[in-house]
């Protein structure tokens, strides 16, 4: 699923906004989130993005335009639409990419907000990462239309299917949708065809799908495909991508180390009740 977040966010300006899904770590990293602060938040440490009060599903960095992952499936749809309205009212030329999955796709908030965005021509990109399962529920048993972009016509906005395992295709699709938003032509629906290799959570026995199916998707892994494309284009050598891979691993280790070494939040009432009101 990395291509969705990386491709989409690479098409954005630093001051653009995103709202992430229930599974938002990748979006956060792709939009400029800092690994150490994220890892600290995962461990509930005081140095985390949210001082240990948020959890992995609420990691946010408003200054970097990351308006939060969301513990509520589809919970970012209203916020993203509001950020787009805000951008429009301030004349800032920003857009907002609203990530959600094939699960969030069936929340009523999308119906209300997509309609609102379309009548007001708001610069928002509704980006559905169709990874085929909402927890264990297959998309085909939860959504009556096979082609999810069919709903775009009903919302009154363009809808486009993209290979969500191809970072470059994602970048191009989102760049075009963002340009459309910036020029005042309104929202778009982008449906990314992608897949989650691992279980929904640690305890997921994955009885709803076959090993073969997972392996088939792994064969078109977006990281390998992107590296190959870069090699073919002569942009980088295999040595370069190996080195970058090693650097990423080092950076991840450093983040984990930072998080482990970080203090727990002070367990007192002042800390508990702080940050409630501005």
Partner 1 sequence: MSAATAATDRELTISRALNEALREEMRRDPSVFLLGEEIGVWGAGGGIFGVTLNLIQEFGPERVRDTPISEEAIAGVACGAAVTGMRPVAEIMYVDFTALAMDPIVNQAAKLRYMFGGKARVPMVLRAQEGAGRGNAAQHSQSLEAWFTHVPGSKVAVPSTPCDAKGLLKTAIRDDNPVIFLEHKALYGTRGVVPEEEYLVPFGSARIAREGEHVTFVGIHTLVHRALAAADRLQSEGVSMEVIDPRTLVPLDIETIVRSVRKTRRLVIGHEAVERSGFAAEIAMQVMDRAFDYLDAPIRRVCGRNVPIPYNLGLERLAIPQEEDIITAVREVVRGAV
Q: According to CB under 8 A, which one of 6, 20, 30, 79 is a site residue for partner 1? A: 79
Collapsing DSSP to helix, strand or coil, 202 comes out as coil
x-marked contacts with partner 1 along 7-36 as a string, rule CB under 8 A: ----------x-x-----------------
Asked if residue 83 binds partner 1 (CB under 8 A), the reply is: yes
Q: Which of 14, 72, 135, 140 binds partner 1 (CB under 8 A)?
A: 72
Strands 133-134 and 137-138: antiparallel
Taking CB under 8 A as the rule, does residue 2 contact partner 1?
Answer: no
276 binds partner 1 (CB under 8 A): yes
What are 225's two structure tokens?
């495909």
- At residue 188, φ and ψ (nearest 5 deg) are -140, 155
Region for 127 from its dihedrals, namely left if φ exceeds 0, alpha if ψ lies in -120 to 50, beta otherwise? beta
From candidates 30, 60, 134, 148, binder to partner 1 by CB under 8 A: 60
Collapsed DSSP state (helix, strand, coil) of residue 225: helix
Task: For CA atoms 108, 125, 162, 57, give the dihedral sign.
Answer: negative
Angle at which helices 108-120 and 76-90 cross, to 10°: 10
The whole-angstrom separation of Cα 230 and Cα 166 is: 12
Q: How far is the CB of 229 from partner 1 (least distance, A)?
A: 35
Residue 68 as a binder of partner 1 (CB under 8 A): the answer is: yes
Report the residue from 43, 120, 150, 221 that binds partner 1 according to the rule CB under 8 A: 120
Contact present, 109 and 76 (Cβ < 8 Å): no
Residue ranges with strand state E in the chain: 17-19, 96-101, 124-130, 133-134, 137-138, 159-163, 188-193
Q: Is 54 in the site for partner 1 (CB under 8 A)?
A: yes
Contact mark string toward partner 1, 246..275, x via CB under 8 A: ----------------------------xx
- In the list 7, 33, 52, 164, the residue contacting partner 1 (rule: CB under 8 A) is 52
Q: Contact between 50 and partner 1 (CB under 8 A)?
A: yes
Check residue 63 and report its DSSP letter. Answer: G
CB of 37 to partner 1, least distance (A): 10
Q: How far is the CB of 23 from partner 1 (least distance, A)?
A: 17
The residue ranges that bind partner 1 (CB under 8 A) are 17, 19, 48-55, 58, 60-63, 67-68, 70-72, 75, 77-87, 89-90, 96, 108-109, 112-113, 115-116, 119-120, 274-278
């Amino acid at each position: 699923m990395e291509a969705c977040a990386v491709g989409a966010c690479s098409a954005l300006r630093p001051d653009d906004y995103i709202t992430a899904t229930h599974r938002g770590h990748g979006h956060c990293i792709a939009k400029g989130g800092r690994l150490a602060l994220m890892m600290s938040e995962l461990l509930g440490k005081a140095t985390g993005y949210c001082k240990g009060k948020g959890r992995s599903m609420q990691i946010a960095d408003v200054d970097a335009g990351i308006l939060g992952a969301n513990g509520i499936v589809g919970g970012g749809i209203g916020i993203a639409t509001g950020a787009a309205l805000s951008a429009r009212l301030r004349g800032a030329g920003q857009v907002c990419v609203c990530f959600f999955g094939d699960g969030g796709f069936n929340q009523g908030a999308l119906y209300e907000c997509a309609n609102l965005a379309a009548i007001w021509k708001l610069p928002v990109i509704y980006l559905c990462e169709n990874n085929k399962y909402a927890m264990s529920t297959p998309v085909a048993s939860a959504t009556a239309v096979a082609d999810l972009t069919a709903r775009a016509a009903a919302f009154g906005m363009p809808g486009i299917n993209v290979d969500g395992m191809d970072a470059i295709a994602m970048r191009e699709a989102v760049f075009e949708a963002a340009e459309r938003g910036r020029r005042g032509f309104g929202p778009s629906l982008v449906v990314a065809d992608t897949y989650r290799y691992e279980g929904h959570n640690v305890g997921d026995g994955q009885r709803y799908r076959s090993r073969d199916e997972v392996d088939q998707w792994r064969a078109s892994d977006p990281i390998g495909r992107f590296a190959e494309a870069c090699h073919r284009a002569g942009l980088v050598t295999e040595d370069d991508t190996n080195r970058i891979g090693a650097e990423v691993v080092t950076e991840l280790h450093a983040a984990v180390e930072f998080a482990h070494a970080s203090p727990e939040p002070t367990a007192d009432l002042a800390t508990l009740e702080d940050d409630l009101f501005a």
